[in-house]
Structure 1
Amino acid sequence: MKRIVMLLAGLGALGAALPAAPQTVVKIAFAGPLTGPIAHVGKDEEYGTRLALDDANAKGVTIAGQKVRFELMSEDDQGDPRQATVVAQRIADAGVKGVVGHVTSGAAIPAASIYEQAGIPAITPSATSPKLTQQGFKAIFRVIANDNQQGEAMAKYTANVLKARTVAIIDDRTAYGQGLGDTLADNLKKLGVQVVAREYTTDKAVDFTALLTRIKSKQPDAIFYGGMDAQGAPMLKQIKQLGLNVKFLAGDGVCTSEMLKLAAPALGPQVYCTQAGLPVDKMPGGAEFKARFKQRFNAEVQLYAPYAYDATNALIEAMKLANSVEPAKYLPQLQKVSLKGVTGTVAFDAKGDNRNGGITLNQFGDGKWQVLN
């Protein structure tokens, strides 16, 4: 009996020493502004990416006969085009298998050529400039609508519903802000609305008194700002201080929960913004995502965290279709992905744009952004 017990004990010790089942570690990179004035937008999308990887690891994914464990590599591009290329090269050199990012169009456009050359698929949750997917690259994708759609939607609402006949346009000279301003101007002119002023600032400015004073003399019905909330909030406050009785219009860079905090005293029903895609409360899986996001990160969804979540899952879905985590093998499968995600169905066209992009128009009221259309 003693000999049997010793034998069993020995077998137990041997079993404890057996190596774990083979596991493949797959790095997915996130790239966006994690410091600076729009870090809240970058962190929002980084959290969405992280939540998707956590979910995949919890469920367990097996590819090519091996269990896969996903790891996140986060890189801060500061929303700066020059820093974005440095970050993109660092990501490519690290041997990552896919990229979620970049957040801004100004960063995503120059970074795209580096990912294309390296053959690494990159899916942006929020870079809306049409130029991104007009470069003819095979590795670049977008899960959000683009600025052509935003500009057209805002122009139609401005002309047909708000009945504005004159509009002043300001942009921050980034690829995103200027592109959105240009698209809006083109669409307004088609609808017979006069653009009475076209002013420029930067994505670092906080004092807009001089340009707003010039605009005041033109007496526009509305002012449109193409840029982010870090500039949109002080601009709106200064519009109030100067006594401009105008509608304030903006794109999705201003359509954030942070804008509601930054511009609180100046917000009112005269403030409108477009949002590429749907607000989280209107998404098919939005309510559940919002609750899990809050529980996991103790933070509210700013804007495009659900799109980062779906972008990450699109990469993983393509890997499953290809039965490979190698970019060269799964990249072609991204064109075949049809993913029912939090935001809706994600499927890409030949350029890499989401076939199911849409635009939401919002107005400020009762302390929050309210969906108009």
Structure 2
Amino acid sequence: MQSFLSRYSNLYGIVTVLFLAVFLWAGCTGEATQPTRGDVYVYVAVPLSGFQANAGQTVLGGVRLIAAEINARGGLMGYRVVVEGLDDESDSEMATTVAQRVADDVAAGKPVLGVVGHLNSGQTLAAMEIYKDLPFVVITPTASEVSLTQKGYRNFFRVNANDAVQAKVDAEFLRQTLQAKRVAVLHNDDPYGIGLAAAIIDHLKASGGEVVLRVQVQVEQRDYTAEVSQIAQAKPDAIFYAGYEVECPYLRYALVRAGIDVPFLASDGCFLAATIDESDGTAEGIYVSAFGPSPWTAASSEWIAAYQAIEYRNPDTYSLNGYVAGQVLLEGAAQAGSLKGADVAQAIRQLEFSSLLGPISYDTNGDLRAPTIYIFQVREGRFVQVYPES
């Protein structure tokens, strides 16, 4: 069955910008097709301040865009979709505070359809201890820690691959494409970095590779003098880094300054413009894995213009993830014909449609049935997809 959202997505390249322009104009004149049944709320719980504010804002922008499209068509079953950002500050305690605020809103009678969030696995794990007992759906745009979908949550889904999938693809890329046998594995000290590093080490060893060094660094670490010395002594064929864009460019800079010139593959947490922008020109040549394609290649120019009209900024890596996470939530409600969490969750498990991130369909745990990992290389100051071959 063709989905509520995909029916009009097929016409997107023709009408989106014109439609949004008319919508914005008509909103001032009262001539738009207006939702008539009241409001329903979608919270976007991501970092909106601190070192990951840009990443969180790109997710929020994607959700805002899909909500604007739905509202311009008369709303979700006649309800206006209201998107509210909640700042978890990339901190698990704050994520719990955010989740409790949502719980309090639900208890007070606020019509909450769901939460898109959180960005990171640590914050998602913390918040789900509260969300799991609430009557709505949670869809993470990016959290990849494997255990998130192994805890029996019936209201949790993700639009990205998990770290088991990422580790397998990245290990194969290191071993087969880069022909690396001796690999140094570095990671940051949060659950995402620790879990992904452990998974890729297992895959490297299983494929006959040798992990010559494993080093843990701190989130937001800037000085890598000691780590570079360890890497130089280990003499790896390649380096894998599991962490974020707030560490990766500084590690890369230190390696280049030290004359260590071996292939460098970073995890999805580094697939943001900051990895290039903050590297002082040393990012050229590095590889970065990702949960989705670049919006500049996957989305139409009309989609990008519509995003810019909503956000007053360019889309970045996770704009697509936010958009598709919102799309899944709203499509689930539309297919269910209900705003009840259990009904929406059941409908999401039956979804099958094509999105800007690829095919969407779920297993019983809330993982994608056919997740894709992409690998990019920095060439001439931009990310160029090298896997799968486009």
Rounded Cα–Cα distance in structure 1 between residues aligned with 2:318 and 2:138: 16
Alignment correspondent of 1:76: 87
Per-residue Cα deviation, 1:300-342 (whole angstroms, up to 9, x for no partner) = 2221211211111211122122222122332322212223333
1:87 aligns with 2:102: no
Rounded Cα–Cα distance in structure 2 between residues aligned with 1:50 and 1:274: 26
Same amino acid, percent of matched pairs: 30
Rounded Cα–Cα distance in structure 2 between residues aligned with 1:190 and 1:62: 48
1:101 aligns with 2:117: yes
Alignment correspondent of 1:220: 236
Alignment correspondent of 1:3: none
The residue type equivalent to 2:172 in the other structure is K
The residue type equivalent to 1:225 in the other structure is Y
Rounded Cα–Cα distance in structure 2 between residues aligned with 1:204 and 1:359: 25
8 A Cα contact 2:155 2:342, kept in partner: no
8 A Cα contact 2:183 2:237, kept in partner: yes
Rounded Cα–Cα distance in structure 2 between residues aligned with 1:149 and 1:364: 22
Alignment correspondent of 1:208: 224
**Structure 1 pair 320–209 and aligned structure 2 pair: CA distance change class (3 A):** same
Alignment correspondent of 1:125: 141
Rounded Cα–Cα distance in structure 2 between residues aligned with 1:204 and 1:153: 26
8 A Cα contact 1:53 1:312, kept in partner: yes
Flag structure 1 segments of 5+ consecutive residues without an equivalent: 1-19
Q: Which residue among 148, 152, 165 is the counterpart of 1:149?
A: 165
Equivalent position SS for 1:37:
helix
Rounded Cα–Cα distance in structure 2 between residues aligned with 1:104 and 1:23: 34
The residue type equivalent to 1:171 in the other structure is H
The within-5 A match list for 1:194-205 is: 194-205=210-221
1:207 CA displacement:
1.2
Rounded Cα–Cα distance in structure 2 between residues aligned with 1:102 and 1:288: 28
8 A Cα contact 1:289 1:342, kept in partner: no
Alignment correspondent of 2:283: 267
Equivalent position SS for 2:345:
helix
Rounded Cα–Cα distance in structure 2 between residues aligned with 1:311 and 1:228: 21
The residue type equivalent to 1:38 in the other structure is Q
Rounded Cα–Cα distance in structure 2 between residues aligned with 1:195 and 1:264: 29
Rounded Cα–Cα distance in structure 2 between residues aligned with 1:154 and 1:314: 27
Per-residue Cα deviation, 1:195-222 (whole angstroms, up to 9, x for no partner) = 1111111113211211221221111122
With structure 1 as the length reference, what TM-score do the two structures score? 0.89
**Structure 1 pair 366–90 and aligned structure 2 pair: CA distance change class (3 A):** same
1:21 CA displacement:
8.6
1:352 aligns with 2:366: yes
**Structure 1 pair 287–132 and aligned structure 2 pair: CA distance change class (3 A):** farther
8 A Cα contact 1:318 1:330, kept in partner: yes
Rounded Cα–Cα distance in structure 1 between residues aligned with 2:241 and 2:93: 24
1:231 CA displacement:
0.7
8 A Cα contact 2:190 2:219, kept in partner: yes
1:168 aligns with 2:179: no
With structure 2 as the length reference, what TM-score do the two structures score? 0.85
**Structure 1 pair 241–340 and aligned structure 2 pair: CA distance change class (3 A):** same
1:111 CA displacement:
1.2
Alignment correspondent of 1:300: 314
**Structure 1 pair 282–358 and aligned structure 2 pair: CA distance change class (3 A):** farther
Rounded Cα–Cα distance in structure 2 between residues aligned with 1:119 and 1:75: 19
Q: Which residue among 288, 291, 294 is the counterpart of 1:276?
A: 291
1:22 CA displacement:
4.8
The within-5 A match list for 1:41-80 is: 41-61=55-75, 63=77, 67-80=78-91
The residue type equivalent to 2:292 in the other structure is G
Runs (4+) of structure 1 moved beyond 4 Å? none
Rounded Cα–Cα distance in structure 1 between residues aligned with 2:57 and 2:263: 30
The within-5 A match list for 1:283-322 is: 283=298, 285-322=299-336
Query: How large is the RMSD of aligned CA atoms in angstroms?
Result: 1.8
Q: Which residue among 264, 268, 282 is the counterpart of 1:252?
A: 268
Alignment correspondent of 1:186: 202
Rounded Cα–Cα distance in structure 2 between residues aligned with 1:62 and 1:31: 21
Rounded Cα–Cα distance in structure 1 between residues aligned with 2:309 and 2:134: 37
